[in-house]
Structure 1
C-alpha cells in the first residue's frame, strides 16, 4: 500500500477557533511556492466559516517558519527568467501578508519556535502573538545577501522605526523575552499551553459582534496603517531586485553549503 503524504498546510476547526498549521517540519516549515498557495487557500476556506471567529497560525515540529525556501530560490537562479520568478515569489508573499491584514477575523500567531525572515513576516501580519519561551524572531536576510523589504514596513508598523532599524540593520535574531519586551510577542507561555490560550482568545473574540471585529481590524490596518499597502509594494520591488545581485548569489550558496559567505568587494 502506498502511504499518502500529509498536506503541507493542515486546516482544522474547533469552533470558535480555526487552526492553520504549516506542516513541513523537516524543512523547518520553509515557505515554498506551493505552501504559500495553500496558505492563501486555507485562509479563504476559513473566511466563509461563520462559526469560526478567530484563526490560530502555527508550525509543526520545532520551528514556526524559517522563511522562504532558499533551496527553491537558489534553483531559480540558474533559470533565464530568474528575475521574473523571484519577482513572482515576492509578489505572492506580499499578497499573502495583505490577505492576512485584510482578513475579517483576528489571526493569532502561536509561535512555537524560530520565526525568521518571511516567517517573521507571518507573525507581523497577525493580530495577536503568543509564543513559547524557545521561540526566536529575526531577519537574517542581509547575512544571506538579500533584504527584508516586505517585512520592513510591517515591522515599523508594529514596533516603530528605532526598533525596526536595529533588527533589520544588525540582522538580529532575538529571544522570545526580547521580542515580548519590544511588543512583537504579546504573551509567552509553555509550548503545550499555546493552543489552549489561542482557544481562550477566540472565545473572548466571539463575545463581540463579528461585524464590529471586522470593522475594528479594518480601522487598524487600513486607517492607522494606511501607508502599509504602498510600502509593501515598494518593499516587494526592493526584495526582488536584491535577489539579482552577486551578494545574493553568494549568500544563498554559502547558506546551502553551510559556510560563511565571501562577499564581493
Structure 2
C-alpha cells in the first residue's frame, strides 16, 4: 500500500497513516487502502486487536483538500464510510487510536470511530470544518455529542475549537494521556491487557455495549442481548468452556478465540 503501513505481531494489527509530509491527510486512494486494511483485520481469525496511528507529528489532519480539488470536488467513500471505519458497525474486535499529534476534522472522526483513544501529551483534537465552509459528515458531530454530552460537544463544534489531549481526557473522549515518548509503551500495555482475556468475551462485550446503547431502555438491552451475534458466538465458543475449566484447575486459560 502506498499511503499506509501495516505491521502484524502477536495478534495485533498496527495501521500507520504514512503521509507525514501532508500531516497524514486522507486522499481518495487512502480511503480505499484503509477500507482494505480494516477488512483484513476483521476477517483474520489470528488478529485480535487493531491499533491505528500516524507517522510523524500528526495522527491525521483530515481530508486532503488539495486532492479533493484536483479530483473536481467529487468525493466517494468505501463501503464502511470515511477512512474505511466511520460506518464500520459490524466489527466486534477492539480498535485503538494511538493519537500521536494533530487529529483534526476527518482525523478526529477516525479516532472517535475507534473504541479507545490513547493520546500523546502533544496531541490535539478538533472539528474545524466550518472554517472552510464544510460540515463534519464523518460521524464526528454525532459521536462527540453521544460521548461527551450535547453542550460540551456543541462548544467544540460551533467554535471549531482545538482542544489538547488533557482536555480530551477531562471531557471523556480520551482514555489516557502519556508523554509522547511513552505512547508506544502505553499502547503495548493496553493491548496486553485486552489480549489477556478471551477474544470471544471481548467481542461479545464490545457488541453488547454498542448495541445495548441503541436499545430504548436498560430493560430492553438486557432482554435483547442474547440475540446479538457476538453474544451467541461467545456462548457457543470453546473459550466460554475454557475459562471456568481453567479456573477450576487453577491454571492460566488457553484462549482459542473460537
TMscore range, shorter length? 0.7 to 0.9
Matched residue SS, 1:61: coil
Counterpart among 48, 57, 78 of residue 52 in structure 2: 57
**TM-score, normalising length from structure 2?**
0.77
Paired with 1:18 and 1:144, the residues of 2 have a C-alpha distance of 34
Counterpart Cα distance in 1 of 2:25 and 2:111: 14
Q: Matched residues in 1 for 2:62 and 2:209: separation?
A: 26
* Structure 1 position 58, deviation (Å): 0.1
- The change in CA–CA distance for 1:90 and 1:170 in structure 2 (over 3 A counts) is farther
Distance 2:103 2:83 in 1: 17
In structure 1, how many angstroms separate the alpha carbons of the residues matched to 2:42 and 2:122?
31
Counterparts in 2 of 1:180 and 1:121: CA distance versus 1, 3 Å: same
Map Cα deviations across residues 113-171 of structure 1 (whole Å, 9 max, x no partner).
Answer: 00000000011111111111110000111111111133111111221111111111011
RCO (CA 8 Å, sep 6+): is it higher in 1 or 2? 1
CA RMSD, aligned part only? Answer: 2.0
Instruction: Work out whether 1:8 is the aligned partner of 2:19.
Output: no
Conserved? CA contact 1:62–1:113, under 8 Å: yes
1:215 aligns with 2:219: no
What do residues 79-136 of structure 1 show as CA deviations (whole Å, max 9, x unaligned)? 4xx5xx23x249741853122x432211111100000000000111111111111100
Q: 1:162 matched to which residue of 2?
A: 151
Quick one: which of 28, 41, 60 aligns to 2:36?
41
**CA distance in structure 2 between the aligned counterparts of 1:181 and 1:172, rounded to whole angstroms:** 15
Please name the residue that 1:23 is paired with: 18
Name the CA distance, whole Å, in 1 between partners of 2:156 and 2:78.
21
1:136 alignment partner in structure 2 = 124
Name stretches of at least 5 consecutive residues in structure 2 with no aligned partner: 217-258
Any stretches of 5+ residues in structure 1 without a counterpart?
1-5, 228-265
Query: What corresponds to 2:112 in structure 1?
Result: 124
Q: For residues 166-205 of structure 1, what are the structure 2 equivalents within 5 Å?
A: 166-205=155-194
Q: Tell which structure's C-alpha radius of gyration is larger.
A: 2
Equivalent residue number for residue 93 of structure 1: 82
Report the counterpart of residue 136 of structure 2 in structure 1: 148
CA distance in 1, matches of 2:185, 2:215: 33
**Higher helix fraction (1 or 2):** 1
Deviation for aligned residue 1:59: 0.1
SS at match of 1:130: strand
Q: Report if the CA contact (8 A) 2:116-2:175 is conserved.
A: yes
Pair 1:103-2:118 in alignment: no
CA shift for structure 1 position 46: 1.9
1:98 partner SS? coil
For 1:257, the equivalent position in structure 2 comes to none
